[in-house]
Amino acid sequence: MTYAVVRSHALIADLLDSNQMRTIASTDSVEEFMLQIAQTPYGQVTLEPDVNPSVSLERIFYRKFIERIVKVVDLVPSNIGELLQTYYYMRFETLNLDRILRGKFSDATPAEIQASLVPMMPYRAPSYQALSEAADIDALLELLKGTAYNTIAEKLPVYKQYDAIWPLELELQHLYSLTILRSVRKLPRSQRRMVSKIVELEADIENFLVAVKQSRAPKEGEGFKPEEMFDATYGISTDVLQLVVDGADLRDSVESLGEPYSAILAPIYEGDVALIRTNLRSQVYKTVNEARAGNDFGFNTIMAYLVFSELEKDDLVGIAWAKEQGLQGEEFLKYLVVPNVS
């Protein structure tokens, strides 16, 4: 454990700093972006043929991050290694299942869906290929029955009731958060809080965004009962979510939550969900730093390295997408974390 902590300190120091990330963000094209990446520890990267450049780069950065996870897991005690694997592999699998659901709902081809997935082997789900080749949502959910994602399949009637995939996505998020919080209980009490706070915060924000969506779709939301839909609530209660669904003043609802929720959710007034997610990631960064301030020699340091690595990965994926869209640095800099918190 001691070696893993010392190694994590060194690895944190090797991550891209704010100046490096700003330089990368200031590039004018995907080609320039890749030249800048080549001058970092990532080295020269090669795009996949016949794949959108930003998608190919996302897959590259995910592979690099997964390599980092594997190396850390090899260094730590088995109980911590199991938690890290569950935390990240299920996190990525949740993203993959979400993308498969969205792809099926939008009639994307199996090839298009598979190209969008995080490059990993299934963790607790059936074959991603089989899921992406399912005839429709009904057939996809049938494949999830009897698996760790059985509760998603049980939401089929709700999916049909609303003719929307948000109930499936919400259940997917709830399942992830509940699974991680159960896994965290296996750690000593002193090592649980940081991960729990991150998972609970992420679940709360997703719940609130769904509630806002329902408040703006009265026909779709008729008869909507938060206590039946929100299986996992933490800092934002079902009572608050019910008020939001019922059309309570949004600003009053957000401000009543207090920090950090009010700051994270402030962009909702302009409908900027992307900035809300950036604010959430920034709060995760702050949560980790606060935990390190209390104890920077133990599990907190190991988890900090992986959290900071994920934030780096997310920023690089965002920049790659922006370059593909022809956006300039200052236009999207506020949607990055590393340049603004380091």
Residue at 243 is within a domain: no
- In Å, the largest CA–CA distance within the chain is 57
User: Are residue 95 and residue 115 in the same domain, yes or no?
Assistant: yes
User: Are residue 65 and residue 132 in the same domain, yes or no?
Assistant: no
Residue at 224 is within a domain: no
Residue-by-residue DSSP string for 241-298 = HHHHHTT--HHHHHHHT-TTHHHHHGGGGGT-HHHHHHHHHHHHHHHHHHHHHH--SS
Residue at 109 is within a domain: yes
Residue at 4 is within a domain: yes
- Return the axis-axis angle of helices 193-215 and 299-325, rounded to nearest 10°: 40
User: Are residue 175 and residue 90 in the same domain, yes or no?
Assistant: yes
User: For the chain, how many structural domains are there in total?
Assistant: 2
Rounded to 5°, angle at Cα 201 from 264 and 165? 90
Residue at 116 is within a domain: yes
Contact status, residue 5 vs residue 292, Cβ threshold 8 Å: no
pTM score, whole prediction = 0.91
pLDDT at 329: 67
Residue at 325 is within a domain: yes
Last residue of a domain, which of 128, 159, 187?
Answer: 187
pLDDT digits 0-9 by tens, 269-310:
999 999 999 999 999 999 999 988 887 788 889 999 999 999
User: Are residue 93 and residue 182 in the same domain, yes or no?
Assistant: yes
User: Are residue 16 and residue 93 in the same domain, yes or no?
Assistant: no
Full domain range(s) for residue 46: 1-75+305-342
Residue at 17 is within a domain: yes
Contact status, residue 288 vs residue 304, Cβ threshold 8 Å: yes
pLDDT at 65: 96
Q: How confident is the prediction along the chain (342 residues), in pLDDT tens digits per residue?
A: 788 888 888 999 999 999 999 999 999 999 999 999 999 999 999 998 888 899 999 999 999 999 999 999 988 888 888 999 999 999 999 999 999 999 999 999 999 999 999 999 999 999 999 999 999 999 999 999 999 999 999 999 988 888 889 999 999 999 999 999 999 988 888 788 899 999 999 999 999 999 998 887 754 445 667 777 888 899 999 999 999 988 899 999 999 999 999 999 999 999 999 999 999 999 999 999 998 888 778 888 999 999 999 999 999 999 999 999 888 767 789 999 999 986
Residue at 218 is within a domain: no
Contact status, residue 235 vs residue 261, Cβ threshold 8 Å: yes
User: Are residue 161 and residue 102 in the same domain, yes or no?
Assistant: yes
pLDDT at 222: 54
pLDDT at 232: 84
CA distance 126 to 123: 8
pLDDT at 224: 66
